[in-house]
């Protein structure tokens, strides 16, 4: 009988197996897209997985006028539309019976009085022990305002063993100065252990598995450094455009929207030193050290090591798509970038002189997110008298989206009388070994907030360090407007200057490189 695959026999139990404790969730911006597309489906998935407490309820708050019944009807309709799988009527009814609503303007003190009154009643009804968490699914301009109003209403005060927490969506600031200002404002009423700055990329299993992969396997960590690694590529490519967020995106752009948060998180998890434990601060201490160690860019560095782009019209999935400047809410002469590529260095002992190439953009050829570690080539001397013309580099690739897994690319001899080498891949897919559970990427993050685990959330110093990397690029790009926008067609891999960024170093992008 053939030996069974060990992973088929001995599989690790899920890390999150106990329901969260009693609590109330308040969603500011409860009628918006984020709530409908991500938060409510994620809560339903947590319910289906048995991870919500029986003593749980949701209070939605927004400027729209709804009764509880009308809001529940909207939730029912949108969950049916955006759920990640089939919806069980009994579970849906359980959730709807725990959903309530209050309306009002976010800058109106009367709204917070109504919120406090409803929470007090719901706390009694569902016996949630005074445990509340507030999710800011609003425009960033309201983050400080809502925090201040909640503080004035006493809703953030923790007493008699109860807890109060706040989840803040990105973007957290628009530059270093505004991020520091926002941190200062919210810390007037909140302790750092109450603040959960969310980055939904960290809800992806492959990203979290970086810690287990790196530090739980003895074969990788010894070569995870400058002696063996030639360079690192991190790609976050999207096929979507700005969708209905043209107005927001005009003020943000891809650099602000992706680099100080998503990309810095991927860099820090790739490069961090082993933490002393899996406690939240131990992990985040090491992540913060990496971001602080990124070499600051001077103006001349930005000119040579930063590339920006904006998509024109093109074809994606055999369908014609319009240029960014024709998107709703976008200026016809917009200078906003929809693509960014950067070459960074980390000034610490492990990574000194190793280039890190970051690339992210919209309307690209395919949806693809990966971290690729290219190792240094082996010496060629052994093969000089063989038909082998050159040795190709080895890659270790962390696949994050759309398929989650890990692959290793190396050379092997092609069968035959001559010494010829061919590239082969060993690939592990999560779905093949552990199965998949449809998710939005928010399930783990919501659950972790409920149980008080901040490991996957950004700390204040990490946020500010990320903006420190981005600020010099923002400053120069503001001072020197682009002259060639749009400079890449939708459905491509970005502007030619992005390929040139690597070609100057004798490298090319692993996916979509020219």
**Pairing state of beta strands 339-344 and 319-321?**
unpaired
Q: What is the CA radius of gyration of the chain?
A: 24
C-alpha span between 381 and 289 (Å, rounded): 39
Place of tokens 């899920």: 14
SS3 content of the chain, % helix, strand, coil (to 5): 40, 20, 40
193 vs 117, 264, 281, 345, 484, CA distance in Å? Answer: 26, 21, 10, 31, 46
105 vs 109, 146, 170, 285, CA distance in Å? Answer: 9, 10, 21, 38
Catalytic residue among 200, 231, 262, 409, which?
A: 262
Q: Would you tell me how many other CB atoms lie within 10 Å of the CB of residue 478?
A: 10
Residues 6+ apart with CB under 8 A from 326: 313, 332
SS (H, E, C) 382-413: HHCCCCCCCCCCCEEEEEEECCCEEEEEEEEE
What sign results for the dihedral spanned by CA atoms 493, 497, 501, 504? Answer: positive
C-alpha span between 451 and 445 (Å, rounded): 10
368 belongs to the catalytic site: no
Active site residues: 262
């Amino acid at each position: 009988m053939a030996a069974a695959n060990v992973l088929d026999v001995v599989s690790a139990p899920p890390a999150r197996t106990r329901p969260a404790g009693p609590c109330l969730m308040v969603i500011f911006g409860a009628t918006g897209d984020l709530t409908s597309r991500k938060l409510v489906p994620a809560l339903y998935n947590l319910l289906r997985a048995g991870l919500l407490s029986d003593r749980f309820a949701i209070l939605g708050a927004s400027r729209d006028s709804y009764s509880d019944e009308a809001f529940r009807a909207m939730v029912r309709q949108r969950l049916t539309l955006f759920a990640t799988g089939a919806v069980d009527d009994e579970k849906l009814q359980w959730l709807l019976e725990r959903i309530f609503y209050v309306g009002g303007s976010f800058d109106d003190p009367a709204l917070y009085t109504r919120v406090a009154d409803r929470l007090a009643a719901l706390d009694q009804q569902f016996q949630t022990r005074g445990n509340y968490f507030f999710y800011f699914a609003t425009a960033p301009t309201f983050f400080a305002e809502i925090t201040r109003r909640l503080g004035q209403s006493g809703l953030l005060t923790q007493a008699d063993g109860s807890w109060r927490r706040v989840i803040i969506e990105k973007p957290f600031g628009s530059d270093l100065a505004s991020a520091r200002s926002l941190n200062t404002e919210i810390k007037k009423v909140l302790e750092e252990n109450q603040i959960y700055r969310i980055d939904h990329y960290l809800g992806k299993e492959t990203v979290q598995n970086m810690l287990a992969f790196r530090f739980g396997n003895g074969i990788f960590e010894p070569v995870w450094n400058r002696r063996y690694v030639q360079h690192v590529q991190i790609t976050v490519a999207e096929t979507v455009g700005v969708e209905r967020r043209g107005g927001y995106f005009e003020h943000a752009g891809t650099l602000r929207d992706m680099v100080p948060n998503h990309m810095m998180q991927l860099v820090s998890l790739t490069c961090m030193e082993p933490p002393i434990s899996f406690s939240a601060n131990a992990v985040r201490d090491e992540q913060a050290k990496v971001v602080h160690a990124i070499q600051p860019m001077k103006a001349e560095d930005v000119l040579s090591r930063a590339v920006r782009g904006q998509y024109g019209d093109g074809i994606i999935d055999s369908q014609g798509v319009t240029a960014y400047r024709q998107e709703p809410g976008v200026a016809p002469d917009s200078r906003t970038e929809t693509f960014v590529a950067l070459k960074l260095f980390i000034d610490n002992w492990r990574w000194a002189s190793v280039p890190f190439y970051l690339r992210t953009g919209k309307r690209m050829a395919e949806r693809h997110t990966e971290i690729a570690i290219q190792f240094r080539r082996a010496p060629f001397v052994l093969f000089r008298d063989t038909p082998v013309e050159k040795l190709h580099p080895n890659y270790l690739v962390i696949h994050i989206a759309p398929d989650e897994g890990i692959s290793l690319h190396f050379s092997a001899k092609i069968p035959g009388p001559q010494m010829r080498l061919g590239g082969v891949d060993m690939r592990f897919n999560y779905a093949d070994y552990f199965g998949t559970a449809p998710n939005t990427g928010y399930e783990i993050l919501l659950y972790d907030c409920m149980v008080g685990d901040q490991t996957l959330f950004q700390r204040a110093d990490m946020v500010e360090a990320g903006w420190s990397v981005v600020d010099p690029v923002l400053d120069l790009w503001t001072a020197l407007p682009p002259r060639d926008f749009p400079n890449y067609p939708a459905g491509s891999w970005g502007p030619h200057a992005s390929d040139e960024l690597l070609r100057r170093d004798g490298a090319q992008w692993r996916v979509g490189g020219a």
